[in-house]
Amino acid sequence: MPLLTLTSDIGQHDFLAGAVKGQLLQHAPHFTLVDITHQLSPFNYPQAAYVCRNAIKNFPPGTFHLVMVNLFDEKPEHLLLAEHNGYFIGCADNGLLTMILEEVPQKVVALQLEKTQQKNTLYCTAVFARAFNEVHNGKLLEEVGDASVSIQVKNPLRPLLGNNWMEGQIIFIDNFENVIVNITREEFEEQRRGRSFKIVFKRDEVIDKISDTYADVVEGEKLAMFNSAAYLEIAINKGNAAGLFGLQGFSEKQQQAQQQYLNNRLFYQTVKVYFE
């Protein structure tokens, strides 16, 4: 049975997450549904891209992925279905797709929405489900949707770089309040070039080594490590780093405000690394 993962920002406090699954099973009854999360922060594209990117790559080729994030950023006339590196992704045409993939998809088509139909979450779910089912039954993407579509493109959030420093943004805070920064191990080592370093946040908190596990430091001590997705993580052994240090997730709206002024709230959404 084909796998279909679900990722959304709709939450689980009402009927909608269950109703979405009901629509999927009506129109794609042979699929096995797998929840990634329904608790993504609304309108937070960097967070959604991080979660989707690092979940999707762990599934086998041929898996279908439904990403229902900010579906109605604009009044939609179509939805997107992409094929990339052997898996299929359905999402809104809001720029998130290229943030997840960190490139333009190898194939993408537009799934047209009926003009007379109320374009709510459940209707969009049914459109995705029917398209997924058609592809699973052997249709080419070009037979399911319009391949001439010109999609919205958003670039993934990248760290800022200087000769002797790099600055990353906090893109996710996990269930233990560990803080995830958009600096990968590969980017860190490329910028480091064998030099010593200091990871600085909240103006005066400094870490000068990378740990392998939380247990590398004593209980209550801060540490930096690269998590299972190879992203820089700031944590406290058996503590809550985000709450204790006043660190917050980065958002695009605050990024725009940052161009006008810099205050403590914005500073605490970034982590800087100095190389010596």
Domain map of the chain by residue range? 3-144, 160-275
Q: Does domain 160-275 have CATH number 2.40.30.90?
A: yes
Joined together, the tokens standing for residue 179 give: 């803080």
- Give residue for tokens 């391949």: 147
DSSP characters over 246-273: T-----HHHHHHHTT---HHHHTTEEEE
Kindly tell me if the per-residue pLDDT of 3 is higher than 50: yes
* pLDDT over 60 (residue 258): no
Q: Model confidence at 172, in pLDDT bands (50, 70, 90)? A: very high
Which fold does the domain 3-144 belong to in CATH? Rossmann fold (3.40.50)
Q: Alpha-carbon distance 232 to 1, whole Å?
A: 36
Determine the pLDDT at residue 251: 66
Residue 264 reports pLDDT greater than 50 = no
Residue from 74, 138, 135 nearest 108 by CA: 135
Q: Give the model's pLDDT for residue 252.
A: 52
- For the chain, list the strands marked E by DSSP: 3-8, 32-37, 64-68, 78-84, 87-92, 107-112, 160-162, 165-173, 179-184, 197-201, 205-207, 222-226, 231-236, 270-275
Confidence label for 248 from pLDDT (cuts 50, 70 and 90): confident
